[in-house]
Copies of this chain bind each other. A is one copy, B any other.
């Protein structure tokens, strides 16, 4: 079968890293599943915006529905407000295509220096399930008396029973398939009684259906502390949109580098394409230098292969990444400050290992 994939490199280091994700995924898909991947590169980005006055063509959203998956680099450029780059492309994509599962693994690979003391490879091994369509990211709010000292802004988080239920169930189902079968639900209902109160109610209702999963509820502040004190206790973590955002950057840091943090924005119904992107952004400070770590993009492509049903290929990519990291011959600067290896060196090493 041929899998049609749209590629949006986007801004900054996005296009640089994404090419290596394509190479690694292609090599693995051919070798392990005999599958063909067909790539269509779409130039939607800040550069495109500067030419056309919009981040994507008028029929862009329609165009994308022809693809099984979207491989995404990053958007964001200092010369254009986030209101354009992030709010016309990334955030609406998650909602328009109902990609309600934002899956973000954090794993401490052998060969990667952990900033925490006394952690062994594999000690950090968690999957964060982040709600990706509602909650604190709802585009709901407004301003009164703008531009005066009486200005009041309201920012409204919207939580629905169904929205909480579907991400919690996805997380519980993932936990059932893992050896430790543990789940932690993140809350802050002691302060935000409405939004997170509903989250907790759904959690308490849903957990009854998964008696084989050991689950607990943890305050987001305590979770931030425990990600540092004892990250090894976490298996599957499920969190609202904002808490998932904060905690996954934190989990990336404790697992050694944001340069290794992958993510999947999944619509499990497959009615619309799912999207796969590194957690890091466009990193304007290092863009164009050819020194970005492509592994976050490569590992995001592995999550894509999983979604396409190419589990062997996905594992092939992950094994190749693990091998390259463990050998430690090629390291980008996020992994070793003194290293001079390039994005391409790392991409080549992974393709060779596949």
Using a CB–CB cutoff of 8 Å, the interface residues on chain A facing chain B are 76, 82-83, 86-87, 91, 114-117, 136-137, 139-143, 148-162, 165, 188-198, 220-222, 224-226, 228-229, 242, 245-250, 252-254, 258
Contacts and interface: CB of A to CB of B under 8 A. Distances in A.
Contacts of A137: 191-192
Contact of A155 (B115, B194, B253): B194
B197 A153 contact: yes
Nearest to A220: B246
B157 A189 contact: no
B153 A83 contact: no
16 contacts: A76-B190, A82-B189, A87-B193, A115-B229, A137-B192, A141-B156, A141-B194, A143-B194, A150-B161, A151-B161, A154-B158, A154-B159, A221-B248, A225-B253, A228-B253, A250-B250
Contacts of A154: 140, 156-159, 194-195
Contact of A228 (B82, B162, B220, B250): B250
A168 to B, nearest CB: 13
Contacts of A83: 193
A114 to B, nearest CB: 8
Contacts of A248: 221
B141 A193 contact: yes
Contacts of A188: 242, 245
Contacts of A254: 228
Most buried by B among A91, A137, A157, A226: A157
A240 to B, nearest CB: 10
Given A141-B193, A194-B143, A249 B229 contact: no
A117 B115 CA distance: 6
A221 B194 contact: no
A102 to B, nearest CB: 13
Contact of A115 (B91, B116, B195): B116
Contact of A224 (B152, B190, B246): B246
A165 B148 CA distance: 12
Contacts of A191: 86, 91, 136-137, 242, 245
Contacts of A249: 221-222, 224-225
Nearest to A201: B151
A141 B150 CA distance: 22
A82 to B, nearest CB: 4
Nearest to A244: B221
B156 A155 contact: yes
Contacts of A253: 224-226, 228-229
A4 B253 CA distance: 46
Most buried by B among A140, A152, A153, A250: A153
A4 B189 CA distance: 35
Given A225-B253, A228-B254, 13 more contacts: A116-B116, A141-B192, A149-B161, A150-B160, A151-B161, A153-B158, A153-B160, A155-B157, A156-B157, A192-B242, A225-B250, A225-B258, A228-B253
